[in-house]
Amino acid sequence: MPLGSGARLGHYEILSPLGAGGMGAVYKARDTRLDRTVAVKVLHQSSPALRERFEREARVVAALQHPHICTLHDIGSHEGTDFLVMEYLEGRTLPCPQPLDKSLEYGIQIAGALEAAHRQGVTHRDLKPANIMITRSGVKVLDFGLARRSGEETLTVAGAVMGTPAYMAPEQWQGNQTDARTDIHALGSVIYEMVTGKRTAAERQKLKPVRLDRAVKACLEADPEERWQSARDLRRELESIRDAPAQDSAHRQRRWLWPAATVLLAAVALAGWLLKPSPPRTHFQVSINPPPKTAFLSALLDEGGIALSADGTMLAFSARTEGRMQLWVRRLDSMEARALPAPRAPTTRSGRPTRAGSASSR
């Protein structure tokens, strides 16, 4: 019979019902000795097989200490009623769908809980949204009633199928040996449902990002050898997918940093060049008078008989002196010019000057 408010199981006072499952019902209760709120799971009926399964669940949960696994406080029996006492959780069972960031975060936490259980040799075998609570502190995995510890003899009748069909792996459907990879298959189904709001089917829709689709696809492989081989590896992959947007953003920032810096430096250099004051221009006038006893010929001037040196410091000009032309040079900062010596005419071996066109040859 259901327990009403005020009923007592030893020093636990029933406050209100919380839910019911295949093996029993769960109540909100008060621990009158420690004055705290707890959850009490009561076995529906007593039989050696059910009592053994109930006690095994208690041993399994008691061995698991993890922030994302519901904590067991006590186990007891009162007037033929067997019960478990667990931490009371305020929250709700996992709703689907969830935003992608929440789906990844919850998936990581569930994988962490399974990792801790598998490390203790415990397979949950009934992972589904109804057995996952969302609380203020995150995920809490509940109900290890079908859990099996490695090395323990199963209590399931040979050929019997135990679990929730929509989340069961093929080997569980077939009543074959189950292990940690069975839970990984179930977790893949849970993640798929969190992202899409739909249960897995033969025709699954593609998930985004692509890495998440590949990760979930590996969870749901029919052959256990093709799945993720540990919840730890799956957790790390989900963490990497969660952190990928920030990593990609940082990579894009680094990728564009050097080109942006190069453009900036080029712009600064161009601005500096454009804004650099031009060197002052020098304007001057020069009056050139012929040296004493010389004269300029206007024809020579018209033909460019005056030249300025490349560095702008010297003038060269031609002037007639005593009936012959001579080359003169003068610094611009001086009024005096000096005549350059006339080139010497070529001579013969005897030292006499040669006449044009009469040089001897042998």
So which residues are the catalytic ones? 126
Amino acid code (one letter) for 67 = P
Backbone angles phi, psi at 188, to 5 degrees: -60, -40
Residue bearing tokens 């593609």: 206
What DSSP line would sit under 308-324, residue for residue? E-TTSSEEEEEEEETTE
H-type alpha helices, the chain:
48-62, 100-119, 170-173, 180-196, 210-219, 231-275, 298-302
- At residue 284's C-alpha, the angle toward residues 280 and 285, to 5°, is 170
d(CA 239, CA 212): 11
Instruction: Give 176's contacts (C-beta < 8 A, 6+ positions apart).
Output: none
CA torsion 204→206→207→213, rounded to 10°?
A: 80
Spatial distance between the Cα atoms of 123 and 230, rounded to a whole number of angstroms? 12
- Buried b / exposed e over 13-26, threshold 16 CB at 10 Å, is bbbeeeeeeebbbb
With tokens 């109804």, the residue in question is 130
